[in-house]
Structure 1
């Protein structure tokens, strides 16, 4: 069986964190999508908070400590990347940015990336397009069309819609990994009956 390696970088600050929860669900969806194609997936979870001191030392000295070097190599050698950050001041967190600051600027060139972010309210969802996409475009990565933002409500009443976005993003990542044109979901494929709309 063919095997694919997926690096999962999550920059949540607490344990547990909603960023880690989203990262786990994205990784599981990608594994399921690959499994459906007869491909085994190995997901390597990288909690950036565990390497905060090493990241600071790397920035100050220009050299990564041994443990951080191993983590950076995991990202460089992975077939694809899932990157999830909490939203701070309408952007990615400083810890998230620090990780990609020390990564070799050619490490993600041509690599498929699934972008994710978490935040308190839906109004921060544009962080995906206005902060994360420019960063990964600079790194010459290949972000898939569907990014996944999870607000607090997505872990409750919005869980079904979140699962749909996760499944779509996973499908696109695997398609990009295999140089296919991912199928875009048609929002009019299963329209709500007019009677249901009238009844609220």
Structure 2
């Protein structure tokens, strides 16, 4: 079974940001299922971790059990959807706080769909000018198709085109979440077995770089 994490940063409940995340996740689920796999979807709403996020950012020793669980779930996922509302021309502060709390190796090579909601289509470039660079900095594998939904698009032809973009983005993500047996090896050989960079949730002790005390004493 594949695992899909959906991070949303809406402030209201319910929120249009969460609803867009659910739409994309449902499309991904259908696309993965059509490829012969099942998928388990984990929704991570940043607003549920607001207190622990604030505590963790000002005090590295603060206990954040709920946030730690979310980090583990995220790093173990096979695919990721991130959805933020647009405030002041960029992603929301709460959305950024969540990603500021992550280990920089937490979503290495993770197939990711970026999405955003706003009141006006004037903010649509935020996908490529803000969200895509942030995910790329964290070494995520960002899908070519992003999804932007403005309030003014509902019930319009543009709203119908957004549905098409959701389907296309879901198909792209599903292709990376599920192994494709129809790949062509090519002249350079088979690259499907190349080990990707290991992910680290940032929770607990990193034993990979652990140096025994006996060596330190030497």
1:189 maps to which residue?
A: none
**8 Å contact kept, 1:6–1:81:** yes
Q: Structure 1 CA distance, aligned partners of 2:73 and 2:64?
A: 14
- Which among 7, 10, 29 is matched to residue 8 of structure 2? 10
**8 Å contact kept, 2:50–2:94:** yes
1:162 maps to which residue?
A: 162
Q: Structure 1 CA distance, aligned partners of 2:6 and 2:96?
A: 15
Within a 5 Å distance, the mapping from 1:134-149 to structure 2 comes to 134-149=133-148
Structure 1 or 2, whichever has the larger Rg, is: 2
Give the deviation of 1:155 after TM superposition.
2.8
Q: Structure 1 CA distance, aligned partners of 2:79 and 2:47?
A: 21
**How many matched pairs?**
178
Give the deviation of 1:64 after TM superposition.
4.9
Give the deviation of 1:176 after TM superposition.
2.5
Secondary structure in 2 aligned to 1:69? helix
1:50 maps to which residue?
A: 48
The structure showing larger relative contact order (alpha-carbon pairs under 8 Å, at least 6 residues apart) is 2
**8 Å contact kept, 1:112–1:176:** yes
Q: Give the alignment's TM-score, normalised by structure 1.
A: 0.86
Give the deviation of 1:28 after TM superposition.
0.2
Q: Which runs of 5+ in 2 are unaligned?
A: 181-218
Q: Structure 2 CA distance, aligned partners of 1:88 and 1:64?
A: 29
Q: Which runs of 5+ in 1 are unaligned?
A: 181-200
Runs of 4+ in 1 over 6 A off after TM superposition: none
Q: Deviations over 1:116-144 (max 9, x none)?
A: 00001111000000000110111010010
**8 Å contact kept, 1:55–1:64:** no
Secondary structure in 1 aligned to 2:161? helix
Q: Structure 2 CA distance, aligned partners of 1:76 and 1:56?
A: 21
Q: What is the aligned-residue RMSD (CA, Å)?
A: 1.2
- Answer yes or no: is 1:97 the counterpart of 2:92: no
2:205 maps to which residue?
A: none
Q: Structure 2 CA distance, aligned partners of 1:44 and 1:132?
A: 21
Q: Deviations over 1:45-100 (max 9, x none)?
A: 11110110010011111145111100111111111110000001111000000000
Q: Structure 2 CA distance, aligned partners of 1:88 and 1:179?
A: 37
Give the deviation of 1:110 after TM superposition.
0.5
